[in-house]
Amino acid sequence: MSRTASFADAVMCLDAVLRRLVLPDGHRTGAVVQAEFERARAGISSRLGPASSPGGRTARRALAFSSAWAENGGESLLRVVLFELGLSSVELQKAVEVDGLFVGRCDVFLRAFGVAIEFDGHVKLTDPEMLAGRTPAEVVRQRGRRDRRLLRHPEIRHVVHCEYADLVFPERLVELLRAAGVAIDPRRVSAAARIAGRRFSGTSA
């Protein structure tokens, strides 16, 4: 897959495989987990063949970008789109504590801008299992309360919520990020929009 697919598809596939290999029981961090991740990635690299083989260089680029800490395909794709927008320095699943109490984990954290990004799929508001007896309105209210707790952390200045459509049309994601003070080169936005056009509709518009 990593030798023949697009960069985004390869990253989503590799992220999923690495998560299953390194974090089969859920989120963990620390030196031991990082070492497990590096071993798993090295194991995949050893099976890719030489860089000179068809797709070998592209596969290694995707593997170098991959992570076990993306919890789903949406988070993987979000990271790819941010990279295409020139935001390559991101932290996944940043743990946030306020006054010594654990508040939660941010899907993506842009430390340079103090911006936490949460990927909110519609499933959070529609899946009965995820709703757990709550109404969608209650979920939204709880999200707002969580955001306020996150903003009490000195490193977090803004919390941005995005959805799948914002990745299909990166201009929408850019609007959200710029409102939070994230500077993005307009040329990057145009390039990301062209890439997204090819990715989702087979066009360059």
> What residue spans define the domains of the chain?
1-69, 70-205
Share of the chain above pLDDT 70, in %: 94
Give the residue-averaged pLDDT of 75-80: 96
List CB contacts of 194: < 8 A, sequence separation 6 or more: 204, 205
**0.85 surpassed by pTM:** yes
For the chain, what is the mean pLDDT?
Answer: 90
Alpha-carbon span 153 to 56, nearest angstrom: 43
Alpha-carbon span 173 to 184, nearest angstrom: 11
Burial of residue 15 (CB within 10 Å: 0-12, 13-18, 19+) is buried
Give the residue-averaged pLDDT of 55-66: 92
Q: For 132-190, what is each residue's pLDDT tens digit?
A: 778 878 878 888 898 999 999 999 999 999 999 999 999 999 999 999 999 999 999 99
Give the residue-averaged pLDDT of 80-95: 94
Alpha-carbon span 27 to 15, nearest angstrom: 14
Could you tell me which of 170, 169, 164 has the C-alpha nearest to residue 188? Answer: 170
- Cα separations in angstroms, 37 against 3, 49, 114: 21, 20, 27
pLDDT of residue 205: 42
Pairing of strands 91-98, 158-162: unpaired
- Per-residue exposure over 173-193, b if at least 16 CB sit within 10 Å of its own CB, e if not: bbebbeebebebeeeebeebb
Residue type for position 138: E
CATH of domain 70-205: 3.40.960.10
| Contact predicate 205/169, CB 8 Å | no
204 confidence band (pLDDT: 50, 70, 90)? very low
